[in-house]
Structure 1
Amino acid sequence: MNKIAFWFTKVCLLLTCFTSNALEFNLPQDKSRLVGELTYYTAKKGDYFQKLAEDFNVGFLALMEANPGVDPLRPEPGTELLIPTQMILPYGKHEGIVINLSELRLYFFDTKKQKVHVFPVGIGRIGHMTPTLIDKITEKRKNPNWFPTADHREEYLEKHGKEMPKMIPAGPDNPLGDYAMRIGTSAYLIHGTNQRFGIGMRASAGCIRMHPEDIEWLFKKSPSGTRVKIINTPIKMTYIEPDTRIIEIHSPLTDNEGNIPSLLPISNGVQRFIGNNPEDLEILEELILDPNGLPVEIRSE
């Protein structure tokens, strides 16, 4: 995830507008939590990762993580790319909105229709890490005004040498976009954006940022009182069939002090899931040292 600083400026120069739709899956009817299938795409001349991320509605960093060694600005035409459209659902109650910071993904669970909708999101950058929490949507605003925090205004003053307005009215200069939903009584919002960059990246001041068309959809589907759970879980596990184990590992997020947490030693839960087979442990070690954010099958016993 620390690659963001290198690519952020270059990506901004290539952005344009694309339409996108949420990834939608039926909820598994068995005990498995694996949904979707990997998408394979052959790069063409003129492709770049930000465009592909929007075309497939996946995160920019997720696309980079799944395709190490590929230039995200100019992938070689003919290169076969992996699009991360398969995933393990987060562990726990599948209700309302669940955001896994490690994945930079938001899950919306429609329990009536037994479906889950998955969106890429932008989250807090280093120094402004989005907190983990369990709460609910308490306020919804269409065409919201933005009231920058004191910290945000202080940073703006240091950077630009002038005061930032205490209120930014709704409109094209408002970074909240056209829709915003407050989480609990906190200052944290799930909101849109007036720019196309930063989705699937660590780019916000702590809020959850979504594509304009995605937040519009979510806004209409999420009444006040909708449960919101924010987690930070880089390792997810599940079974498909009794003896087939699937593990998905993401790069741990750099903390506010600039430290990258280690995934080692592995937790007791991961140890029990993997077992003691040397080949399985070798696969696990490779994934921890070089996470790809993709579900990987662990050899059946």
Structure 2
Amino acid sequence: MRFSRRFSTPARWLASIILLLVTLASLPAGANCWPLPATGSRLIGQNVFHVVQDDGGSLESIAKKYNVGFLALLQANPGVDPYVPRAGSVLTIPLQMLLPDAPRKGLVINLAELRVYYYPAGKNSVTVYPIGIGQLGGDTMTPTMQTTVSDKRANPTWTPTANIRARYLANGIKLPAVVPAGPDNPMGHHAIRLAAYGGVYLLHGTNADFGIGMRVSSGCIRLRDDDIKALYKEMPVGTPVRIINTPIKASVEPDGRRLVEVHQPLSKSINDDPKVLPILLNARMKQFQAAPETDAQIMARAMQHRSGMPVEINAHAANAI
């Protein structure tokens, strides 16, 4: 993707439409599962487009239809009304992404992009799920960690911590010591416990129809009910889990394309604006930025726009802005 709006020739338009139809036909029902890319590549998936219907549907309902996160859809379509998107407008569905710079094994959760990547053992594929994570605040922020799956429970009960009960009580809600399984349980129908931190962090479902792809939980990782059900069924106890917080990813693809994918960094303070928060580059990313093959201006614009989608930043692409 480049920050350009050039018109294509009719032949290119036709080719694009055919590619889009083929991509739509190949999209999985529910989960977004992709074959692992070729050696040296980190690029998976393919963006598609959605024409907003005149039915009053919200951005959340569109996000759910394509199983992407709410904020990911909002960042890919700046300016769209999140409550009543304009009928007839065309939305980009951000289904193309770079794999995180982490071992392709077990679960890799990138908090900054509000996604979890599952690499099933013995399969040459990756399944990507949108997630909700911990709210802004000291004891509700989801921490980074390297751990394993220690337990799985169907129809779990919820035992809110003292801090959670106090927080609810401050809002006039008195929680019981244990919330039984059922439709009122905010953990949904399945829960997967992580070993670190004494087992207080879980991946779980939800009884709400919103909040996926947002910072909404008390620290746990929230998935749509069908997604946690699929993970629960397929992922064994002992699966390695790595939780990272990386708002910027980059790749030099085998065909020479230099790609960067930038997400809004997570706020640490109520006064932070993630749209303009500085994005700190590590030594490897600084080297990528300074390489003669990289157009620094395009990369700077990508870091400013923070679309959450891969952008080509090769130096020869400068005249396409």
CA–CA separation in structure 1 for the residues paired with 2:38 and 2:114: 25
Between 170-179 and 249-258, the greater mean CA deviation after superposition? 249-258
How far apart, CA to CA, are the structure 2 residues paired with 1:22 and 1:297?
A: 26
CA distance in 2, matches of 1:279, 1:97: 31
* Distance apart, 1:225 and its partner CA: 0.4
The residue aligned with 1:100 is 110
1:182 and 1:63, CA in 2 relative to 1: closer, same or farther beyond 3 A? same
1:281 maps onto 2:296 in alignment: yes
1:263 and 2:274 aligned:
no
Correspondence for 2:253: 240
Aligned to 1:168: 179
Is residue 154 of structure 1 aligned with residue 154 of structure 2?
Answer: no
Q: Which moved more, 1:150-159 or 1:42-51?
A: 42-51
Superposition RMSD in Å: 1.9
- Tell me how far 1:111 sits from its aligned partner: 3.7
Amino acid at match of 1:102: A
Which range moved further: 262-271 or 205-214? 262-271
| 1:45 matched residue in structure 2 | 54
Length-normalised TM-score, structure 1? 0.88
Task: Pick the aligned partner of 1:89 from 96, 99, 105.
Answer: 99
Provide the identity percentage: 43
Alpha-carbon distance in 2 for matches of 1:211, 1:242? 36
Q: Residue type of the partner of 1:243?
A: G
Partner of 2:84: 74
Q: 2:143 aligns with which of 131, 154, 163?
A: 131
Structure with a larger share of its residues in helix:
2
Distance across 2 between alignment mates of 1:35 and 1:279: 21
> Structure 1 residue 219 and structure 2 residue 232: aligned?
yes
Counterpart CA distance in 2 for 1:265 and 1:138 is: 33
Residue of structure 1 equivalent to 2:18: none
- TM-score for the superposition, normalised by structure 2: 0.83
Code of the aligned partner of 1:182: R
Q: Is the 8 A contact 2:153 2:192 kept in 1?
A: yes
- Unaligned runs of 5+ residues in structure 1 are 1-18
- Cα deviations across residues 57-106 of structure 1 (Å, max 9, x unaligned)? 00000000000011122222221211000000011210111110011101
Q: Is the 8 A contact 1:243 1:300 kept in 2?
A: no
Q: Partners of 2:259 and 2:314 in 1: how far apart?
A: 9
Deviations 1:138-179 (A, max 9, x none): 01111111000010011111111x642110011111111111
* Counterpart code for 2:131: V
Query: What whole-Å deviation, never above 9, does each CA across 1:20-53 have from its counterpart, x for those lacking one?
Result: 6110100012211100111122222123211110
Distance 1:265 1:224 in 2: 35
What's the counterpart of residue 297 of structure 1?
312
Match of 1:26? 35
- CA distance in structure 2 between the partners assigned to 1:117 and 1:264 by the alignment: 27
Question: Structure 1 residue 277: deviation in Å?
Answer: 5.1
Counterpart code for 2:257: T
Of stretches 289-298 and 236-245 in structure 1, the one that deviates more from structure 2 is 236-245
Q: Secondary structure at the match of 2:181?
A: coil
Deviates more, 1:33-42 or 1:263-272: 263-272
Mapped to 2, the partners of 1:282 and 1:163 lie a distance apart of: 53
Unaligned runs of 5+ in 2: 1-27, 317-321
Amino acid at match of 1:60: F
AA paired with 2:181?
A: A
Does structure 1 conserve the Cα–Cα contact (< 8 Å) formed by 2:288 and 2:294?
Answer: no
